[in-house]
């Protein structure tokens, strides 16, 4: 058995490593309409990054018929799966993971996607040789902005929060990491602005993972590794 990495980086997947946030938005919009809910796409998009259970309550309110939540979530998943052939990783995603690994960081995908969705995205990212572990929705009782997924990701690779940094694209990512004291490097590729991400507490913001990769030597990722080298 190999030793657990002393330092690590957790990566959100949807909207961070793969270009899926707007596909999720459309899939949720269609699912809501099938159940008679007319949720504006702009509001749906702003909630992407939450787990499906949290997103439904956030958008429809506490007075909704919650008995439909499971069917709504399943309908979203079925519609979203039709877009799988269209999913692409962001430019620089695989290379950034490889660069992090080369810098001595253990890499864990901290996703709240279903196991099947995560398997599809891992194939698209094509960097399993440097990924130490990954989480799916079945690994946590509560979804983002709860930090449960991040706790599960830490446990997967035997990492400590104080020795870890997180890369994500949504306000919900930043808030979840903040609860554990994990600094977040944010990217705007999911459609959330730099101002919103910084206001939530992101320590750095880049346009996308290609931008983070290009600035790697000056980024918090590189400094994080340097500060903890023995």
Q: Which domain holds residue 30?
A: 21-85
Structural domain contains residue 36: yes
One-character DSSP codes across 11-59: E--BTTTBS-HHHHHHHHHHHHHHTT----HHHHHHHBTB-HHHHHHHH
Q: What CATH number corresponds to the domain at position 120?
A: 3.40.50.1000
Given a cut of 80, whether residue 227 has pLDDT beyond it is no
Point out the domain boundary residue: 85, 113, 139.
Answer: 85
Confidence of residue 5 (pLDDT cuts 50, 70, 90): low
Collect all residues with Cβ–Cβ distance below 8 Å to 207 and sequence separation of at least 6.
187, 188, 189
Point out the domain boundary residue: 85, 118, 138.
Answer: 85
Point out the domain boundary residue: 85, 113, 129.
Answer: 85
Q: What CATH number corresponds to the domain at position 62?
A: 1.10.150
pLDDT digits (tens, 9 = 90+) for 103-156: 999 999 999 899 999 999 999 999 999 999 999 988 888 888 899 999 999 999
pLDDT digits (tens, 9 = 90+) for 30-80: 999 999 999 999 999 999 999 888 999 999 999 999 999 999 999 999 999
The whole-angstrom separation of Cα 25 and Cα 42 is 8
Q: Which residue has the tokens 């270009």?
A: 19
Q: How far is CA 8 from the centre of its chain?
A: 16
Q: What does pTM read for this prediction? A: 0.93
Structural domain contains residue 1: no
Question: Is the domain of 222 the same as that of 160?
Answer: yes
Question: Is the domain of 78 the same as that of 113?
Answer: no
The whole-angstrom separation of Cα 149 and Cα 186 is 17
Question: Is the domain of 191 the same as that of 153?
Answer: yes
Mean predicted lDDT score pLDDT of the chain: 93
Question: Is the domain of 150 the same as that of 218?
Answer: yes
Confidence of residue 88 (pLDDT cuts 50, 70, 90): very high
Structural domain contains residue 62: yes
Helix (H, G, I), strand (E, B) or coil at 80: helix
The whole-angstrom separation of Cα 19 and Cα 92 is 12
């Amino acid at each position: 058995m190999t030793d657990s990495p002393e330092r690590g980086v957790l990566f959100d997947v949807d909207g961070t490593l793969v270009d899926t946030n707007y596909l999720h938005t459309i899939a949720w919009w269609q699912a809501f309409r099938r159940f008679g809910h007319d949720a504006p796409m702009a509001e749906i998009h702003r909630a992407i990054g939450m787990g499906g259970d949290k997103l439904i309550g956030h958008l429809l309110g506490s007075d909704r018929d919650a008995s439909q939540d499971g069917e709504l979530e399943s309908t979203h998943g079925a519609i979203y799966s039709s877009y799988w052939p269209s999913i692409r990783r962001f430019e620089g995603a695989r290379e950034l993971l490889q660069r992090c690994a080369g810098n001595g960081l253990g890499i864990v995908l901290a996703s709240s996607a279903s196991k099947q969705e995560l398997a599809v995205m891992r194939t698209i990212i094509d960097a399993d040789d440097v990924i130490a572990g990954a989480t799916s929705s079945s690994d946590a009782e509560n979804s983002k902005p709860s930090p449960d997924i991040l706790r599960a990701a830490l446990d997967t690779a035997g990492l400590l929060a104080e020795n870890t940094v997180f890369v994500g694209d949504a306000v919900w990512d930043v808030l979840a990491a903040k609860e554990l004291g994990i600094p977040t490097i944010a990217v705007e590729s999911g459609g959330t602005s730099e101002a919103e991400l910084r206001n939530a507490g992101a320590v750095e913001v880049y346009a996308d993972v290609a931008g983070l990769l290009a600035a790697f030597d000056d980024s918090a990722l590189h400094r994080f590794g340097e500060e903890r080298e023995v």
